[in-house]
DNA sequence: ATGAAAGCGCTAACAA
DNA sequence: TTGTTAGCGCTTTCAT
């Protein structure tokens, strides 16, 4: 198949004996061009299979109408709901999305950021990876005036906006709920405490214990990744503790599911012996047995809020740099896995 | 923050009193430029924060080193493993990925295809959405000589390569396994039969029944989408059948999980009353109870194979147009949900 | 080993 | 309402 030469506005202009300027204007539906000429041009463009050369346009205008979406992983329900929220808004506004994920690696995240910068995105929506130690890779965007919005896993960087839930409150509520159910010794399975989300939930856990007169035992805090293996390992770790904890607050539903499964295989009953609360409200939570008590984390809404703020800023409707932090509602969903007392 | 002007090769050239041609050559590590000059240029580029303008380059060269990845959904484990396989290969080869998903909509798929075409991707890897009725939107790629590879949900289009598993065989094996376990009346829950994957699995189901002297009952074939709701509805549908079927072959693990859950809630035991086989080998399969018998569908491998074929073609190492179809291995994983006979 | 200059396809300021 | 023309930043051919 021979590569056909692309049709350009010059071809259209030649064919119709008009200038490229008119063609260019017609193509962007400039009201200054007469209906007749427009029609002629559109028809011919269609007929000749004309496609805008975006590189030429971008080169010329310096704007790409493209938003970067930079996240740690794509295979998480939460990130996917955020993505669909973002996509809804950006699509409506006529922006394209370039998605990059870092597989939880700082190096890859930095490389992706660099890449998105080179691709000249008009704005960036990002959630940090596990081991991101610095936010220097976002500097170029900020210096150049490209708006950056962080969500979920965030870091306060000057001139950026963050969209989050109140992780502290959620951690506090989850833990309080377990205490209300009679738990006295509560395991906390979480991830890198240098990430805000986990650090905040941990603070909530700690304060809830404190406020209820339970002393914090560092041995009950298990830091791991968000894999199935992490759930199984945490379960093993817990079973080695004597006496056995009677509750567990796990910052991820998938990990919680694996955790519960492992416990049950060793004859430990949930919630009878150990009450469990997860986090995120993934679909898996009501497919397992017992169904999982969890924190509802509204991803779609978060994505919509983040994208709307960004788009409004780009349109000049509002100025993002005034907004420091947006907090989205979230709440505890009580199901079977935590109910020691019956309903 | 004022938008700083981008540094260009002209700035570098001016600063060093050399020509832009030399700078351009140095930047792409052309051996013809002396080491000394190169070093000067690289150092200055670093110091001034120079970043290549990809639009200018692409406009000039006509190649983008970008691959399009066009799929129906992103929130599926299977698609995500394919993606990670693809990404591994493309990244190694120095290609970027643009990801587009159509939310199972034909219209959106066509729009995405058009968009990727405008973005001038060098190649395309795609899996069709549910209700895709035509493949005309891939024509422009083929006509222009841009290689297209389909995987999973495919359609034979001239001059394209497809990467698939043997869905017929899998359907046959899953059904035969249920029959071996003593099932005589087997429900089949699947999705749009106009998509190759479901059509083939259905053929396998039908032939396995036939080969075992069981007559096909169209009322036992339930076509639905791949949602949790689909699982629940299918369960309800089945419970209305008298006498109750004793086996179910469900072409998606997630749907199967919801299905089993619904049955159990109505006091029907799995596998005791109904033996169940799923499809895909998602993580959820061994977190639920009973653990789910399923077909292993190796996404990563599939992604690697598809991407490798594409890249090799682009590099001119091999010619894709010779290859019609690649079939990836897949097999039955027997777990608890289908074992009526014990092990 | 380096430079001069044309041109990729498009937009927009200015002119008519 | 339409046309002319100067670039956007880069690569590459042809000279030197």
Which nucleotide across the nucleic acid strands is nearest to B21, CA versus C1'?
A: C3
Kindly indicate whether the domain formed by A1-42 is annotated with CATH number 1.10.260.40.
Answer: yes
Confidence label for B95 from pLDDT (cuts 50, 70 and 90): confident
Contact list, B77 vs chain A (CB under 8 Å): 75
What top-level class would CATH report for the domain A65-164+299-328? alpha beta
By C-alpha distance, the chain B residue nearest A99 is B99
pLDDT of residue A278: 98
A60/chain B closest Cα distance in angstroms: 9
Give A137's pLDDT tier (boundaries 50, 70, 90).
Answer: very high
User: Which of A3, A27, A55 has the most B C-beta neighbours within 10 Å, making it the best mutation to test the interface with B?
Assistant: A55
SS3 A309: helix
Residues A152-169 have a mean pLDDT of: 94
Distance B189 CA to D5 C1' (A): 65
CA pair distance B57, B64, nearest whole angstrom: 8
pLDDT confidence of residue A86: 96
Rounded mean pLDDT of B322-330? 91
The shortest C-alpha distance from B59 to chain A (Å) reads 6
Mutation test of the interface with chain A: which of B281, B287, B316, B320, choosing the one with the most A Cβ atoms within 10 A? B287
Distance set, CA A322 to CA A145, A156, A264 (Å)? 14, 14, 51
Coil vs helix vs strand at B222: strand
Give mean pLDDT, residues B242-260: 97
Helices then strands (H, E): number in chain A? 12, 12
The alpha-carbon gap from B205 to the nearest alpha carbon of chain A, in Å, equals: 27
Give B198's contacts (C-beta < 8 A, 6+ positions apart): B190, B191, B192, B223, B251
Helix spans in chain B (H): 9-16, 20-27, 35-48, 54-61, 77-92, 106-118, 139-144, 167-180, 196-211, 228-239, 253-265, 299-315
Residue partners of A120: CB distance under 8 A and separation at least 6: A58, A62, A64, A66, B53, B54, B55
pLDDT of residue A320: 79
Say which DSSP state A320 is in: G
The whole-number Å distance from B21's CA to D14's C1' is 13
Under the banding of pLDDT at 50, 70 and 90, the label for residue B342 is low
Q: How far is the CA of A156 from the C1' of D9 (A)?
A: 35
For strand D, the positions having any atom within 7 A of a protein Cβ are 1-5, 7-13
Higher pLDDT, B91 or A192: A192
- C1’ C14 / CA A295, Å: 61
Helix/strand/coil for B161: strand
Q: Of B196, B129, B203, B130, which is closest to residue B164 (Cα–Cα)?
A: B196
pLDDT band at A92 (very low <50, low <70, confident <90, very high): confident
Q: How many CB pairs under 8 A join A and B?
A: 95
The whole-number average pLDDT for the span B109-122 is: 90
Work out the pLDDT band at A85, boundaries 50, 70, 90.
very high
Confidence of residue B3 (pLDDT cuts 50, 70, 90): very low
Tokens encoding B92: 């190694």
**Would the pLDDT of B166 be above 80?**
yes
Rg (CA), chain A: 26
**Predicted confidence band at A310 (pLDDT cuts at 50, 70, 90)?**
very high
Chain A partners within 8 Å of B117 (Cβ) = 51
Give the nucleotide nearest to A61 (CA→C1'). C11
Distance between first and last Cα of chain B: 69
What whole-number percentage of chain B has pLDDT above 70?
98
Q: Do you find a cis peptide bond into B79, omega within 30 degrees of 0?
A: no
Other CB atoms within 10 A of residue B133 CB:
8
CB contact at 8 A, A170 and A327: no
Q: Answer yes or no: same fold for A65-164+299-328 and A167-297+332-338.
A: yes
- Pairwise pLDDT comparison (B96 vs A165), residue with the higher score: A165
- How many angstroms away from the CA of A112 is the closest CA of chain B? 10
Out of 2.40.10.220, 3.40.50.2300, 3.30.365.10, 3.40.50.300, select the CATH number for domain B167-297+332-338: 3.40.50.2300
Average pLDDT over residues B9-25: 93
Nearest to B284 among A74, A159, A287 (CB): A287
Residues whose CB is below 7 A of strand D: A 17-22, 25, 32-34, 36-37, 56, 59-60; B 5-6, 8-10, 20-21, 24-25, 27-28, 50, 52-53, 56-57, 59-61
Give the residue whose CA sits closest to C9 at C1': A56
Write the pLDDT tens digit of every residue in A250-291. 999 999 999 999 999 999 999 999 999 999 999 999 999 999
* Min Cα–Cα distance to chain A from B119, Å: 7
From the candidates A1, A5, A265, A291, which should be mutated to test the interface with B, based on the most B CB atoms within 10 A? A1
What pLDDT does residue B1 have? 31
Gap from B131 CA to C16 C1', in Å?
54
Partners of B140 on chain A (C-beta within 8 Å) are 49, 51
Burial class of residue A210 in the structure, from the number of CB atoms within 10 Å of its CB (0-12 exposed, 13-18 middle, 19+ buried):
exposed
Q: Residue A101 forms beta bridges with which residues?
A: A71
Domain-wise residue ranges, chain B:
1-42, 65-164+299-328, 167-297+332-338
The token pair that represents A231 in the structure block: 């759930």
Rounded Cα distance between B146 and A29, Å, is 30
Burial class (CB in 10 A: 0-12, 13-18, 19+), B2: exposed
pLDDT of residue B6: 82
Rounded distance, CA A125 to CA A151, Å? 7
DSSP codes joined into one string, B86-133: HHHHHHHTT-EEEEEE-TT-HHHHHHHHHHHHHTT-SEEEE---TT--
pLDDT band at A184 (very low <50, low <70, confident <90, very high): very high
Which residues does residue A100 pair with via DSSP β-bridges, in sequence order?
A70
The CA angle B148-B150-B153, to the nearest 5 degrees, is: 155
Average pLDDT over residues A184-189: 98
Of B1, B84, B99, the CB nearest to A145: B1
Render pLDDT for B178-220 as a digit per residue (tens, 0 to 9).
Answer: 999 999 999 999 999 999 999 999 999 999 999 999 999 999 9
State which protein residues have CB closer than 7 Å to strand C.
A 5-6, 8-10, 20-21, 24-25, 27-28, 50, 52-53, 56-57, 59-61; B 17-22, 25, 31-34, 36-37, 56, 59-60
Query: Taking 90 as the threshold, does the pLDDT of residue B319 lie above it?
Result: no
Contact B288 A283 (CB under 8 A): no
What pLDDT, on the 0 to 100 scale, is given for residue A3? 42
- Could you tell me the distance in Å between the CA of residue A96 and the C1' of nucleotide C8? 24
- When CB atoms are compared, the residue of B99, B159, B258 closest to A1 is B159
Write the residue in A3, A56, A98 that is nearest to B98 by C-beta. Answer: A98
């Amino acid at each position: 198949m021979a590569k056909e030469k692309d049709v350009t506005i010059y071809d259209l202009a030649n064919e119709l004996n008009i200038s490229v300027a008119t063609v260019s204007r017609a193509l962007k539906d400039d009201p200054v061009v007469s209906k007749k000429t427009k029609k002629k041009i559109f028809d011919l463009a269609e007929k000749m299979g004309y496609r805008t050369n975006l590189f030429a346009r971008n080169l010329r205008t310096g704007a790409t109408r493209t938003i970067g979406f930079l996240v740690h992983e794509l295979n998480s329900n939460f990130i996917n709901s955020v993505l669909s929220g973002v996509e809804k808004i950006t699509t409506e506004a006529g922006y394209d999305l370039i998605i990059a994920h870092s597989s939880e690696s700082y190096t890859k995240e930095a490389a992706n950021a660099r890449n998105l910068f080179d691709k000249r995105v008009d704005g960036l929506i990002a959630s940090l990876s596990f081991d991101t130690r610095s936010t220097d890779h976002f500097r170029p965007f900020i210096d150049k005036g490209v708006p950056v919005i962080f969500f979920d896993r965030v870091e306060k960087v000057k001139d950026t906006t963050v969209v989050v839930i109140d992780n502290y409150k959620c951690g506090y509520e989850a833990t309080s709920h377990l205490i209300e159910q009679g738990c006295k010794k509560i395991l906390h399975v979480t991830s890198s405490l240098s990430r805000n989300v986990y650090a905040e939930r941990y603070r909530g856990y700690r304060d809830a214990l404190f406020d209820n007169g339970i002393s914090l035992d560092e041995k009950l805090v298990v830091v791991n990744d968000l894999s199935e293996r992490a759930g199984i390992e945490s379960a093993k770790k817990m079973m080695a503790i004597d006496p056995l904890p009677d509750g567990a607050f796990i910052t991820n539903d998938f990990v919680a599911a694996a955790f519960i499964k492992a416990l049950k295989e060793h004859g430990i009953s949930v919630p009878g012996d150990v009450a469990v609360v997860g986090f995120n409200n993934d679909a898996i939570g009501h497919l397992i047995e017992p169904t999982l008590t969890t924190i509802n984390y509204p991803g779609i809404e978060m994505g919509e809020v983040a994208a709307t703020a960004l788009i409004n800023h780009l349109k000049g409707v509002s100025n993002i740099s005034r907004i420091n932090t947006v907090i989205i509602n979230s709440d505890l969903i009580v199901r079977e896995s935590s109910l020691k007392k019956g309903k």
